[in-house]
């Protein structure tokens, strides 16, 4: 077992807990004076199972009439950690809270309910959440009426839930990724019973449609599927997000149409492995390519999708993307490693050669295609030569940018028990070299824009300078230029005058007859 894995086993000892009652609503226990109602808890063995049961699609009214006043006059604050999937789940959580009468606030002192929507992908993400809980404890002691909840991927981990019950028992609610729609009932339970309420479903049940969502800005996320069945050996997601299940095409298309009607300028279709879309839809022969083709006919200016898995990326999708239109030519295609041996140990189910062939096919078929990626360095046993293969693949593909990570052992995953003889110092050096290489290719890609006029969707002011606006090209390149704040949310044309590694700079121009 790697030395870096957090030892959660100490939290599996409940000898000082007293069982108060046990019935069909769950178990009530008392630990150090705190009563906890455990309606259901996570179980990693269950989360690992993949059953054949049919997925039900439920068209739910998640906030019943009698709960629509519960938050009137009160405020909520949701902190989101992790990926776009979590950001989007937070939009649903906020949507439900607002239907319950709560109003948004940025101030902890004003908030009556604070939720931490958590990420479990790497250890440092978990450390940040426990750090935040430490700060919130002081607030809770000052204001016992404040409701504190922990949800998201960490809540799906047995060790984390046990740790919260034992060491952070000022928390009022814990719920997982499969029962977000139960939030109104859990808030009601925690408010009225004053117990800590724990409800985490280990088995992903159904797809719940019609949940309210609080979207902001002009870019919207749309889930097309949930879960992941790939079980890459380093990854916790298949356990925390459950089995792959696709939303029905008509439900996705109706949601995109509604966003178009509301004036959204860009949508991103979301899933852990979007290329598996449709494979679980019984009696249908309908894939991501088909969905993209149908969505390309909707009047929404830009359509993206993430995240792709190289193994399932098929020719049909390439053929549809090659038609362009509102389907942008940016593909995020995580490679993870450039070494076939490491990829095998990661159980990625493709080789270096297969990835390179796919990248080649994409560049040949889709005009101006841009690829970005995710890479892990320091996987257990990764040799210097294997790392060099990653660098050489980065050079060969010429990624525009990449998310790069040092491998982080996740309890219960196969890689966490693989022998790891790579010292942390070496892993850090590899990460640095990898980032330098990616930066170099980012700069080359930026330089290609010099003198060109690009179409930019303006997102807001630049982080460092209020007078400078920031937006993105179709290929997701960040663009800075001077302009009035009225342009936020609009498409503009910018002539590129300067290039940096991770962004390009330019000046506003009128729309040209031909875009570069
Ligand atoms: N489903 C996507 C895929 O297969 O590429 C991405 C899922 S994950 C949220 C995003 C990225 O986190 C992965 O692509 C991987 O590079 C990284 N990641 C996942 N588990 C990790 C771990 N245990 N240590 C370090 N990085 C990890
Ligand atoms: Fe994790 Fe692999 Fe699934 Fe991506 S495809 S979520 S990396 S198991």
Characterise 242 by phi-psi region: left (phi > 0), alpha (psi -120 to 50), beta (else).
left
Of the candidates 246, 407, 274, 396, the one whose C-alpha atom is nearest the C-alpha of residue 331 is 274
- 225-242 confidence digits (pLDDT tens): 999 999 999 999 999 999
Mean pLDDT (whole number) for 493-510:
94
pLDDT at 70 over 60: yes
Strand partners, 246: 225
Which ligand 1 atom is at minimum distance from the Cα of 272?
1
- 332-371 confidence digits (pLDDT tens): 999 999 999 999 999 999 999 999 999 999 999 998 999 9
Mean pLDDT (whole number) for 495-511:
93
- 386-439 confidence digits (pLDDT tens): 999 999 999 999 999 999 999 999 999 999 999 999 999 999 999 999 999 999
Mean pLDDT (whole number) for 466-488:
94
Please, which pLDDT band fits residue 516 given cuts at 50, 70 and 90? low
CA 234 to centroid of ligand 1, rounded, Å: 8
Of the candidates 170, 167, 127, 123, the one whose C-alpha atom is nearest the C-alpha of residue 148 is 170
CA 510 to centroid of ligand 2, rounded, Å: 43
Which ligand 1 atom is at minimum distance from the Cα of 234?
23
Which ligand 1 atom is at minimum distance from the Cα of 375?
16
- 176-185 confidence digits (pLDDT tens): 999 999 999 9
DSSP state of 416: G
The pTM score is 0.94
Mean pLDDT (whole number) for 284-296:
97
CA 231 to centroid of ligand 2, rounded, Å: 6
pLDDT, position 177: 95
pLDDT, position 203: 80
Lining residues, ligand 1, CB within 6 Å: 83, 121-122, 234-235, 237, 272-273, 307, 309, 334, 336, 374, 376, 405, 407-408, 410
What residue's CA is closest to ligand 2, atom 2? 232
CA 272 to centroid of ligand 2, rounded, Å: 6
Does the beta carbon of 309 lie inside 6 Å of ligand 2? yes
3-state secondary structure 350-395: CCHHHHHHHHHHHHHHCCCCEEEEEEEECCCCCCHHHHHHHHHHHH
pLDDT, position 373: 98
| Closest ligand, as measured to the CA of 405 | 1
DSSP state of 15: T
**Could you give the percent of the chain with pLDDT greater than 90?**
86
pLDDT, position 404: 98
Name the average pLDDT for the chain.
94
Please, which pLDDT band fits residue 4 given cuts at 50, 70 and 90? very low
Please, which pLDDT band fits residue 16 given cuts at 50, 70 and 90? confident
How far apart are the C-alpha atoms of 465 and 165, rounded to whole Å?
Answer: 44
- 384-395 confidence digits (pLDDT tens): 999 999 999 999
Mutation pick for ligand 2 pocket among 204, 225, 239, 272 (CB with most ligand atoms within 8 Å): 272
pLDDT at 73 over 80: yes
| Closest ligand, as measured to the CA of 228 | 2
3-state SS class at 497:
strand
Q: Judging by beta carbons within 10 Å of its beta carbon (0-12, 13-18, 19+), is residue 32 exposed, middle or buried? A: exposed
Please, which pLDDT band fits residue 2 given cuts at 50, 70 and 90? very low
pLDDT, position 513: 66
What residue's CA is closest to ligand 1, atom 5? 334
3-state SS class at 91:
helix
3-state SS class at 514:
coil
Angle formed by the axes of helices 183-193 and 84-99, to 10°?
60
pLDDT at 474 over 70: yes
Residues 485 and 408 sit within 8 Å (Cβ to Cβ): no
- 114-127 confidence digits (pLDDT tens): 999 999 999 999 99
């Amino acid at each position: 077992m790697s030395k870096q894995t957090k030892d959660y086993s100490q939290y599996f000892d409940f000898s000082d807990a007293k069982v108060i009652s046990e019935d069909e609503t769950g178990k009530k226990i008392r630990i150090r004076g705190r009563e906890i109602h455990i309606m259901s808890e996570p179980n990693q063995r269950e989360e690992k199972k993949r059953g054949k049961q049919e997925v039900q699609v439920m068209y739910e009214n998640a906030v019943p009439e009698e709960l629509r006043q519960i938050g009137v006059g009160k405020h909520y604050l949701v902190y989101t950690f992790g990926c776009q999937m979590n950001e989007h789940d937070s939009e649903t959580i906020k949507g439900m809270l607002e239907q319950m009468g709560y109003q948004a606030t940025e101030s902890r002192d004003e908030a009556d309910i604070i939720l931490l929507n958590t990420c479990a992908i790497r250890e440092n993400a978990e450390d940040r959440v426990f750090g935040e809980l430490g700060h919130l404890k002081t607030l809770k002691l000052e204001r016992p009426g404040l409701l504190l909840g922990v949800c998201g991927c960490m809540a799906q981990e047995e060790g984390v839930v046990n740790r919260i019950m034992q060491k952070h028992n000022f928390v009022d609610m814990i719920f997982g990724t499969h029962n977000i729609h139960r939030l109104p009932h859990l808030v009601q339970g925690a408010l009225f019973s004053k117990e800590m309420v724990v409800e985490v479903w280990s088995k992903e049940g159904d797809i719940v449609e019609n949940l309210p969502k609080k979207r902001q800005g002009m870019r919207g996320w749309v889930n097309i599927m949930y879960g992941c069945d790939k079980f890459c050996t380093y990854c916790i997601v298949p356990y925390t997000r459950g089995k792959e299940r696709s939303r029905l095409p008509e439900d996705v298309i109706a949601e995109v149409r509604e966003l178009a009607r509301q004036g959204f300028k860009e949508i991103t279709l979301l899933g852990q492995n979007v290329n598996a879309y449709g494979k679980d839809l019984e009696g249908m022969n309908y894939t991501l390519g088909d969905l993209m083709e149908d969505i390309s006919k909707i009047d929404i200016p830009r359509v993206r999708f993430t995240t792709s898995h190289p193994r399932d990326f098929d020719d049909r999708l390439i053929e549809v993307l090659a038609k362009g239109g509102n389907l942008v030519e940016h593909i995020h295609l995580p490679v993870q490693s450039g070494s076939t041996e490491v990829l095998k140990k990661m159980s990625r189910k493709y080789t270096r050669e297969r990835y390179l062939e796919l990248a080649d096919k994409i560049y040949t078929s889709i005009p101006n295609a841009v690829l970005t990626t995710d890479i892990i360095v320091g996987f257990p046993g990764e040799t210097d030569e294997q790392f060099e293969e990653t660098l050489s693949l980065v050079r060969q593909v010429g990624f525009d940018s990449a998310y790069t990570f040092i491998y982080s052992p996740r309890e219960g995953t196969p890689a966490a028990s693989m022998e790891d003889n790579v010292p942390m110092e070496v892993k850090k050096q590899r990460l640095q070299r990898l980032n330098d290489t990616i930066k170099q290719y980012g700069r080359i890609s930026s330089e290609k824009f010099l003198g060109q006029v690009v179409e930019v969707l303006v997102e807001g002011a630049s982080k460092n300078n209020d007078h400078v606006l920031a937006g993105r090209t179709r290929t997701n390149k960040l663009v800075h230029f001077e302009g009035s704040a009225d342009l936020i949310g609009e498409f503009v044309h910018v002539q590129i005058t300067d290039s940096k590694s991770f962004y390009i700079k330019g000046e506003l121009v009128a729309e040209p007859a031909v875009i570069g």
